[in-house]
């Protein structure tokens, strides 16, 4: 085991799920040590919570600028910073840390404005910094199995991918005034899209991740069924990918009956996959003309990409925290390779980068345009 890398977190204050998730994810494999943080928008709470989480007094910062300054000049400066602040601040913080040469892991969506995302991609490229966006579901072993199978040609050409993120999260009309819900459908706060931009991009990224393709053009239909909503609570996007695959993306906040609703189906010339996040330890694989197989996470016969993303014995459920931790492990491997002057194994670069984050934003903006213009086909990028 190599020396632990130093890791810093911005956002993720007390009581937040996202902070908890990142801390488990980063520390789970012992690759990262939680070394610095600016966890709360209130400086005092930020410092106190940081100390309570075990940060050294001088690295429990009051805000991210203080943290940037101090860390920039330390010898043991953090090797990776995670940006888990409100969406509209992602750009400024990520840009500032990149500019100072830090590797950055940003929450999704990468930015709220499209041009900002392009700037980040460019900056990361110029600075040659490791960059990642949290499409955490891509860390599931069986999602990686699908991708590996596609890469090895086991499906032949992928003809159709159907991705969905459809649950009943925003189905309760009585919830419409709940502040936790309302802002999501308010263009001033949420931007151009609600469920597509928030949930749909996870499913879209998975479609890209598994097929290894990007979207070239799309036709979208957005609808809003709960009174008073200005942004969509259900959408369907048909698209074409650069490898010739036909895509469908269904996003819904009205789909009562699914606790979560992220699901993907991939159909190639030689077989089809079906997987859903709610029962992530089983993958349905149907070779053309043969019975469906239930592939179990951790079982023998999976590809190395899936094996290395598994941690516990077959049959024991692994959940989202371990899946998410795989992104940190990959990031850790990559950063360690860089520090050692080694090439990192391409397999470890499976984590989604800023470019993937930008692509999902491109997609959302194009979908919004198409939906506004009678579902006409719109080119991307």
What residues between 292 and 321 interact with a copy of itself by CB under 8 A? 292-296, 298-301, 311-321
Report the site for a copy of itself in 202-231 (rule: CB under 8 A).
219, 221, 223, 225-226
- Total interface residues for a copy of itself by CB under 8 A: 89
Strands 262-268 and 271-276 come out as antiparallel
Closest approach of a copy of itself to the CB of residue 85, in Å: 19
Q: Which is nearer to a copy of itself, 81 or 371 (CB)?
A: 371
Q: Should residue 56 be labelled a site residue for a copy of itself when binding is judged by CB under 8 A?
A: no
Per the CB < 8 A criterion, the answer to whether 366 and 379 are in contact is yes
Q: Should residue 250 be labelled a site residue for a copy of itself when binding is judged by CB under 8 A?
A: yes
Give the whole-angstrom CA distance, residue 133 versus residue 119: 15
Give the whole-angstrom CA distance, residue 215 versus residue 244: 10
Residue 316-355 contact track with a copy of itself, rule CB under 8 A, x = bound: xxxxxxx---------------------------------
Residue 182-201 contact track with a copy of itself, rule CB under 8 A, x = bound: --------------------
* Binding span for a copy of itself by CB under 8 A among 79-87, 180-188, 203-211, 279-287: 279-287
In sign, the C-alpha dihedral spanning 179, 181, 186, 187 is positive
Cβ density class 128-156: b for 16+ within 10 Å, e for less: ebbbbbbbbbbbbbbbbbbbbbbeeebbe
> In the sheet where 246-252 sits, what is the strand order?
282-287, 271-276, 262-268, 158-166, 246-252, 234-241, 215-223, 378-379
Closest approach of a copy of itself to the CB of residue 179, in Å: 18
Q: Which of 15, 179, 289, 341 binds a copy of itself (CB under 8 A)?
A: 289
Q: Should residue 154 be labelled a site residue for a copy of itself when binding is judged by CB under 8 A?
A: no
Q: Which is nearer to a copy of itself, 96 or 380 (CB)?
A: 380
Q: Which of 248, 307, 344, 369 binds a copy of itself (CB under 8 A)?
A: 248
What angle in degrees, to the nearest 10, is found between the helix axes of 201-211 and 354-372?
A: 120
Closest approach of a copy of itself to the CB of residue 119, in Å: 31
Q: Should residue 234 be labelled a site residue for a copy of itself when binding is judged by CB under 8 A?
A: yes
Token pair listed for 107:
């929450």
Q: What is the DSSP letter of 157?
A: S
Q: Should residue 369 be labelled a site residue for a copy of itself when binding is judged by CB under 8 A?
A: no
């Amino acid at each position: 085991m190599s020396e632990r890398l130093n890791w810093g977190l911005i956002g993720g204050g007390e009581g937040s799920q996202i902070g908890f998730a990142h801390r488990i994810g980063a520390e789970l494999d012992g690759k990262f040590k939680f070394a610095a943080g600016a966890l709360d928008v209130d400086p005092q709470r930020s410092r106190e919570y940081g100390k309570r989480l075990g940060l050294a007094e001088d690295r429990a910062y009051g805000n991210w600028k203080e943290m940037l300054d101090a860390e920039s000049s330390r010898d043991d400066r953090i090797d990776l910073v995670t940006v888990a602040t409100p969406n509209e601040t992602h750009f400024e913080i990520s840009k500032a840390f990149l500019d100072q040469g830090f590797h950055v892991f940003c929450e999704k969506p990468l930015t709220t404005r499209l041009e900002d995302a392009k700037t980040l991609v460019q900056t990361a490229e110029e600075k040659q910094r490791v960059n990642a966006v949290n499409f955490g579901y891509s860390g599931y072993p069986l999602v990686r199995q699908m991708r590996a199978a596609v890469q090895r040609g086991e499906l032949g050409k992928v003809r159709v991918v159907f991705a969905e993120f459809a649950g009943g999260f925003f189905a309760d009309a009585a919830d419409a005034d709940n502040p936790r819900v309302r802002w999501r459908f308010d263009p001033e706060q949420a931007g151009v899209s609600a469920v597509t931009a928030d949930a749909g991009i996870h499913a879209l990224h998975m479609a890209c991740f598994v097929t290894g393709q990007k979207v070239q053009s799309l036709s979208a239909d957005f609808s809003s069924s709960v009174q008073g909503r200005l942004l969509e609570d259900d959408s369907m996007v048909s698209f074409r990918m650069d490898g010739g695959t036909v895509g469908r993306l269904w996003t819904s906040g009205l789909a009562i009956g699914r606790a979560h609703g992220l699901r993907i189906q991939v159909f190639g010339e030689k077989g089809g996959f079906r997987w859903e996040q709610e029962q992530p330890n089983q993958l349905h694989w149907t070779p053309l003309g043969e019975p469906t197989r239930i592939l179990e996470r951790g079982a023998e016969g999976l590809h190395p990409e899936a094996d290395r993303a598994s941690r516990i014995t077959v049959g024991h459920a692994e959940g989202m925290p371990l899946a998410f931790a795989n992104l940190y492990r990959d990031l850790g491997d990559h950063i360690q390779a860089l520090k050692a002057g080694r090439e990192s194994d391409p397999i470890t670069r499976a984590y989604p980068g800023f470019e993937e984050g930008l692509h999902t934003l491109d997609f959302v903006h194009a979908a919004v345009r198409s939906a506004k213009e009678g579902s006409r086909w719109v080119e991307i990028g």
